[in-house]
Amino acid sequence: MRNVWLIARREYLERVRTRSFMIMTVLTPLLMGGLTIGPGLLMARMSHHSKHIVVVASDQQMGETIKGQLLHADKESRDNAEAARKSSMKRTPPPPPELTVDIDTAISDEHRAELTKRVEGKDIDGVVWASNEALKSRKVPFITRDTSSFIENAELQQSISQSVTRHALQARGLSEQEIQDVFRPVKLDVEDAAGKSGSNPQVVIVTSIVMVMILYMSLLLYGINVMRAVLEEKTSRIMEVMLSVARAKEMMAGKILGVGAVGLTQIAIWGAVALLYIVPNAIAMRGQLQSVLSPGLLVWFAVFYLLGFSLYSTMYAAMGAMVNSEQEAQQLQFIAVIPLVAAVAVMFSVAQLPSSSLAVWFSMIPFTSPLIMFMRIAVQAPPLWQILLSVALLAGTIYALVLLCTKIYRVGILMYGKRPTLPEILKWLKYA
């Protein structure tokens, strides 16, 4: 055990002190923050100028209806943005500028050409051509320079559709209050079988996907680090010296523990950085955090991280002992990568249907269960017996794989030359 500890300590200190570890530890949170906050800041900067739209309608009442709907939608958008900005301690972009809408009842080809020139000259931002013919055909032209702004265009289309419906309801004698009641949205309050209200599904799924991707990247990157560590010492012949004071099993266990501790250290640092954002917003986000990031979920995250890392790092250690160069190692990586890629491929289906047959089977297969079973626990906790069975199968597979890979490792670290074939590996198992 002393040799295992010494090897693990050496592997840990060597990697923690490297520049790559420090750079990735700092760069990853910055990159994630840039990917989440950057697009919003960019959109806010691009939409800094005020919007000026001209609504051309055949009658004044229809124009007023469209104008009112557009201004109402713009106000709701600004109110939502302001609420999000306040609840997140002003970390989100400021609300978009107010919208200016003019009404025009001059329906003619010459006037349309004139307004089009004004749009091209950036005098106005857009023209809604809501003539009677356009409304009757249910195709309302919108002349604008920003034809690729599909989100704004979709909101505009929804506003015009609601305006047409409002105008039709007013023509049939409904009062404004009755029309408001017709358009009042219905909120779906999701409850489980016990009658408890569920968490925000968007928050749950996004949080689950983020945690699963952390698992995926950790299993992949640190497993590869184990393989490279074995390969480096094998090619430099340091293995031969180390075998004089430690057994092959101790060396493999020390490398797995040392590199695994590096991964846990990096995740702990990232978690501390995340707390710097969470703590100032604890009041606004307390309900969602308590329902999503429960202590039980964090415990299962640690369990499946440790089990998954033990499984894949054992495979990578054996592959590192088998090959003689980095190129050969890259060719063998698909053996471990394919199950992880398969798990990521079905991850979104599992997030939507966590109790489906696909989700259950993938959560029981040891090579995909670290990702899929954790996803099921995060989205909708399965029966306890399924979780325990998945853990038991995973632990049993790890035990069998350790016995198998230790034999390959014991012989492979001293084998040089060409990459061994499958019959030769079977002979190694017999010799070991």
Tokens of 295: 């202590």
**In this structure, what is the dihedral angle of CA atoms 416, 421, 422, 423, given to the nearest 10 degrees?**
-90
| pLDDT of the residue at 17 | 81
Q: Among the residues of 130-235, which ranges form H helices?
A: 132-137, 150-171, 176-183, 201-235
21's torsion region: left (phi>0), alpha (psi -120 to 50) or beta?
alpha
Main-chain phi, psi angles of 236, to 5 degrees:
-90, 0
Amino acid at 295: P
**What residues does CATH 3.40.190 cover in the chain?**
51-183
Candidates 193, 235, 269; CA nearest to 29 is 269
H or E element in which residue 313 lies: helix 295-322
**Cα separation of the two ends of the chain:** 21
Candidates 353, 316, 310, 324; CA nearest to 413 is 324
- 10 Å Cβ neighbour count for 19? 7
Residue with tokens 């249907």: 353
Distances (CA, A) of 386 to 219, 345, 381, 391: 23, 22, 10, 9
Question: What's the whole-model pTM score?
Answer: 0.62
Which residues, in sequence order, are CB contacts of 384 under 8 Å at separation 6+? none
* DSSP tally for the chain: helices H, then strands E: 19, 4
Q: What is the DSSP string of 74-131?
A: HHHHHHHHHHHHHHTTT-SPPPPPPEEEEEE----HHHHHHHHHHHHTTSSSEEEEE-
Under DSSP, the state recorded for 197 is B
Residue-wise pLDDT tens for the chain (432 aa)?
Answer: 777 888 788 878 877 887 777 777 777 767 766 665 555 555 555 544 578 888 888 888 888 888 888 888 777 777 766 655 554 444 444 555 577 888 888 888 888 899 899 888 888 888 888 888 888 888 888 888 877 666 677 778 888 888 888 878 877 888 878 877 877 777 766 665 544 445 556 666 776 777 777 777 777 777 787 787 777 777 776 766 776 777 777 777 787 788 778 877 877 787 777 666 655 554 445 445 555 567 777 788 888 888 888 888 888 877 777 777 777 777 777 777 888 888 888 888 888 888 888 889 999 999 888 888 888 888 888 889 999 999 999 999 988 887 787 777 777 766 766 666 767 777 766 665
Under DSSP, the state recorded for 159 is H
Query: Does domain 51-183 correspond to CATH entry 2.60.40?
Result: no
Beta-bridged to residue 101, according to DSSP, are 53
| pLDDT of the residue at 361 | 92
